[in-house]
């Protein structure tokens, strides 16, 4: 009897995890107080929500929180561009942004779940969170995981090396989403994904960069410490390190000139 119960629980969890990219929600979207919705505005029903619906439901509340972060960092809101730096080992996601000046650290979020280990994603079903430099391909207001933002994995770098090595199924459907479960995605929790979703909608997905690293290269270098990783991982880690270190360098430069970048707080 106990074995049967365990099997049922396992199958249920597997079904939920496998639905990361689906557009029909498996649970009701958590809605902020209706007073935030503009008078006479009627959102589409669950499963048919648009980005406009999400902005009407969450926009006012989220914008107030985001504005506080940006004010402390002395960056205009909404900014012209943002960079999301995900650190797998530390389970942190840094929000960087710029207006007409350099990028500055705005806020740091906890990553609630990120499956896999250090190393790039190589194939469908390996449960690895990718590592690399990505863009946001689109916003999903009807995610099974509250809200989600799809990243462009596999990008050109991933596809080039997959083809070179004869890997025909490098995987796909990688998202930054709500909840706290992951099979290759970055699960941020519902409140955090509301902030990231609204901010991305305001800035424009084309102005959002996503950098995913195995750990923070500002603490210790991204070295290949496993024979299981492909040789090209060294090139990938050099690119990732350069992206993250460039952000930090501009922040230090601004600080030395008298502009103090905010020390991000966890949520």
The CATH number for 81's domain is: 2.40.440.10
* Predicted confidence (pLDDT) per residue in 30-62, tens digit: 334 434 555 567 888 888 999 999 999 999 999
* Percent of the chain whose predicted confidence (pLDDT) is above 90: 72
DSSP H or E stretch at residue 248:
helix 233-256
Place of tokens 């922040």: 251
Q: Which domain holds residue 148?
A: 2-216+226-256
20 is catalytic: no
Is 263 inside any structural domain? no
Residue 262 lies in a domain: no
Q: Is residue 176 within 8 Å of 196, Cβ to Cβ?
A: yes
The answer as to whether 66 is a domain residue is yes
Query: Is there a catalytic annotation at residue 185?
Result: yes
pLDDT-derived band at 235, boundaries 50, 70, 90: very high
Q: Which of 17-26, 133-142, 184-193, 199-208 has the lowest mean pLDDT?
A: 17-26
Question: Of the residues 107, 146, 161, 177, which is catalytic?
Answer: 177
For residue 29, pLDDT over 80 is answered with: no
Comparing CA positions, the residue from 84, 154, 156, 151 lying closest to residue 126 is: 154
What integer is the mean pLDDT of 233-261? 74
Please give the pLDDT value at position 169.
Answer: 96
Q: In terms of Cα–Cα distance, which of 178, 182, 109, 189 is closest to 148?
A: 178
* pLDDT value of residue 224: 87
Domain count for the chain = 1
Compute the distance between CA of residue 69 and CA of residue 84 in angstroms, rounded to an integer.
Answer: 15
Instruction: Give me the catalytic one of 23, 161, 185, 215.
Output: 185
Distance of CA 256 to the CA centre of its chain: 30
pLDDT band at 250 (very low <50, low <70, confident <90, very high): low
Average pLDDT over residues 247-263: 51
- Is the model's pLDDT at 11 over the cut of 60? no
When pLDDT is cut at 50, 70 and 90, the band that residue 105 belongs to is: very high
Domain membership of residue 261 (yes or no) is no
Query: 201 vs 62, 66, 120, 148, CA distance in Å?
Result: 12, 13, 28, 12
Q: Is residue 71 part of a domain?
A: yes
Phi, psi at residue 117, to the nearest 5°? -130, -175
Which one is predicted more confidently, 30 or 247?
247
Full DSSP string of 46-106: TTS--HHHHHHHHHHHHHHHHHHHHHHHT--SS-SEEEEEEETTTTEEEEEEESSS--EEE
What region does 23 belong to: left with phi over 0, alpha with psi -120 to 50, or beta? alpha
Residue 256, pLDDT score = 40
Does any domain span residue 117? yes
44 domain residue, yes or no: yes
Report the mean per-residue pLDDT for the chain: 85
Q: Which residues pair with 211 in a beta bridge?
A: 85, 133
């Amino acid at each position: 009897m106990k074995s049967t119960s365990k099997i049922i629980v396992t199958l249920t969890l597997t079904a939920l995890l496998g639905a990361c990219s689906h557009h029909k929600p498996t649970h009701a979207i958590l809605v902020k107080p209706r007073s935030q919705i503009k008078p006479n505005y009627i959102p589409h029903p669950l499963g048919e929500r648009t980005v406009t619906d999400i902005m009407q439901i969450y926009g006012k509340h989220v914008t107030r929180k985001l504005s506080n972060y940006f004010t402390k960092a002395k960056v205009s809101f909404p900014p012209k561009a943002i960079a999301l730096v995900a650190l797998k080992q530390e389970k942190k996601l840094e929000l960087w942004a710029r207006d007409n000046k350099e990028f500055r650290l705005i806020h740091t979020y906890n990553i609630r779940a990120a499956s896999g280990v250090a190393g790039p994603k190589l194939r469908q079903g390996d449960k690895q969170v990718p590592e690399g430099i990505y863009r946001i391909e689109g916003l999903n207001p009807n995610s099974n995981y509250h809200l989600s933002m799809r990243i462009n994995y596999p990008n050109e770098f991933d596809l080039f090396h997959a083809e070179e090595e004869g890997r025909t199924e490098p995987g796909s459907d990688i998202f930054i989403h709500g909840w706290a479960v992951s099979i290759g995605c970055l699960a941020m929790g519902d409140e955090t994904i509301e902030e990231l979703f609204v901010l991305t909608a305001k800035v424009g997905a084309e102005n959002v960069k996503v950098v995913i690293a195995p750990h923070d290269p500002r603490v210790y270098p991204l070295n290949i410490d496993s024979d299981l990783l492909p040789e090209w991982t060294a090139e990938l880690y050099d690119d990732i390190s350069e992206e993250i270190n460039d952000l930090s360098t501009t922040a230090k430069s601004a600080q030395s000139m008298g502009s103090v970048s905010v020390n991000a707080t966890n949520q």
